[in-house]
Amino acid sequence: MSKYKVVIAGSLMAPALERIQKFCDVKQWTKSGAIPQELLFDWLKDAEGLIATASIKVDKELLKHAPKLKVISQAAVGYDNIDIGACTDKSIPFGNTPGVLVDATADLAFSLLLCSARRIHEGWDFVRSGAWRSGSNIPFGIDLAGKTLGIVGMGQIGAAVAKRAGAFGMNVIYYNRNRRPDDEKIGATYQHFDTLLEEADCIIVLTPLSKETRGLFGREQFTKMKSTAYFINVSRGPVVDANALFDALKTGQIAYGALDVTDPEPIPIDHPLLTLPNILITPHIGSATTETRTAMAQLTVDNLLAGLEGKPLPACVNTNLIMEKQKG
Ligand code: GLV
């Protein structure tokens, strides 16, 4: 039996790769950095499956070079690098990895909140630099109990963060495009966006990146926040205007920032945000645990193999869109 032809645009955990290799001839980009576009387009000429990564854009142009593609799969829940309309036009299903990364990402979001609130990395610097021995003071953090957490973007991860916040005695408000009555049962109260900005002591951003959310947090929004506010972004870098965040943190318009995502990624080492004392940045590690990355890799393979065999993908973003298109 001839094997399917598959392109993998980046790294993939060994057990997942081995599963693919049983059924597929694989061309894989294993070097650091993004695969050069020319090479990718050349590899895609006869590819039936593609495992995409955040470093490539799947758009009309790419699909023109991939006439045999039956399925695209990516090990992430976010898919702002994928033009879903263009995939749907070609009836190509796109699979992502929702669900399996919820707890890991919620843990990371809440860790950033805790570490910021209790100034954990300043404490570590204080010890390591010898400042503790010289008796200088470390800045105080804040209590979380009794504070209001504002969650912007209430999906499964937002709900998991809300549960953690409830366990820490926080009051939770949220803003989302649609109200989420089930999450209100776990004690999260819906608020208009501007009210949330004004009332929250801490804000965690979890919204996907889209036309509507690009630049959602800019000067106007930081001005509305409390000067004591903690601002945490675990969604996508471009949801926040980095210059506006820099100014807000520098001038004390808000108290503290923590980011797991930046624009660009990796953030350049000479980026102004890195000069601030009141910021904590991690390298996009929301789902980076062994268990979660393993589950994501396996779901990515499940989606790929299902698509190659013409079966429904276990986690498909555009099933309904393709069905609607086929109905005409
Ligand atoms: C990570 O950022 C993801 O979208 O899964």
DSSP conformational letter for 217: B
Residue 224 identity: K
Q: How confident is the model at residue 231 (pLDDT cuts 50, 70, 90)?
A: very high
CB 72 within 8 A of CB 93: yes
pLDDT score of 185:
82
Q: Does residue 238 have its Cβ closer than 6 Å to ligand 1?
A: no
CB atoms within 10 A of CB 230: 26
Phi, psi of 175 (to 5 degrees): -125, 135
For ligand 1, is residue 286 a contact (CB within 6 Å)? yes
For the domain made up of 4-98+290-327, the CATH class stated in words is: alpha beta
The secondary structure element, H or E, covering residue 205 is: strand 202-205
Q: Which of 101, 112, 299, 300 to mutate to test the pocket of ligand 1 (most atoms within 8 A of CB)?
A: 101
Quick one: pLDDT at residue 328? 78
Q: Is the CB of 158 under 6 A from ligand 1?
A: no
* Distances, alpha carbon 116 to alpha carbons 96, 146, 216, in Å: 31, 16, 22
pLDDT exceeds cutoff 80 at 134: yes
Q: How far is the CA of 208 from the centre of ligand 1 (A)?
A: 9
pLDDT value of position 137: 84
User: What are the residue numbers of the active site?
Assistant: 236, 265, 284
How many angstroms separate the Cα of 164 from the Cα of each of 114, 175, 201? 11, 17, 16
Distance 251 CA to ligand 1 centre (A): 31
Write the DSSP string, 277-311.
SSEEE--S-TT-SHHHHHHHHHHHHHHHHHHHTTP
Q: Could you tell me which of 228, 237, 304 has the C-alpha nearest to residue 273?
A: 237
Q: Give the tens place of pLDDT for each residue, 164-205.
A: 999 999 999 999 999 988 878 889 999 999 999 999 999 999
14 Cα to the center of ligand 1, angstroms: 20
pLDDT per residue as tens digits for the range 200-228: 999 999 999 999 999 999 999 999 999 99
Position 276 scores a pLDDT of 98
* pLDDT of 1 above 80: no
pLDDT per residue as tens digits for the range 24-64: 999 999 999 999 999 999 999 999 999 999 999 999 999 99
Q: How far is CA 261 from CA 5, 60, 240, 264, 268, in A?
A: 33, 27, 10, 9, 13
Does domain 102-281 fall into CATH 3.40.50.720?
yes
Task: Sort 296 into a burial class: Cβ within 10 Å, 0-12 / 13-18 / 19+.
Answer: buried
Alpha helices in the chain (DSSP H): 14-23, 37-44, 60-64, 84-89, 102-117, 120-128, 156-167, 181-185, 193-199, 219-224, 242-250, 290-308, 319-327
Other beta carbons within 10 angstroms of residue 237's beta carbon come to: 17
Q: Which of 74, 156, 234, 287 to mutate to test the pocket of ligand 1 (most atoms within 8 A of CB)?
A: 287
CA of 78, closest atom in ligand 1: 4
Q: What is the pLDDT of residue 136?
A: 80
How are strands ordered across the β-sheet holding 24-28?
Answer: 24-28, 4-8, 49-52, 71-74, 94-95
User: Is 52's C-beta closer than 6 angstroms to any atom of ligand 1?
Assistant: no
What percent of the chain shows pLDDT beyond 70? 100
Report, in angstroms and rounded to the nearest whole number, the Rg of the chain calculated over CA atoms: 22
Average pLDDT, the chain: 96
Q: Which atom of ligand 1 is nearest to the CA of 76?
A: 5
Ligand 1 pocket member 77 (CB < 6 A)? yes
Tens-place pLDDT, residues 82-97: 999 999 999 999 999 9
Say how far apart CA 46 and CA 56 lie, in whole Å: 18
pLDDT of residue 310 exceeding 80, the answer is yes
State in Å: Cα 128 to ligand 1 middle: 33
Residue 188 has a pLDDT of 95
Tell me the residue length of the chain: 328
Domain boundaries, the chain: 4-98+290-327, 102-281
101 touches ligand 1 (CB under 6 Å):
yes
4-98+290-327 and 102-281 in the same fold: yes
Q: Whose CA is nearest to atom 3 of ligand 1?
A: 76
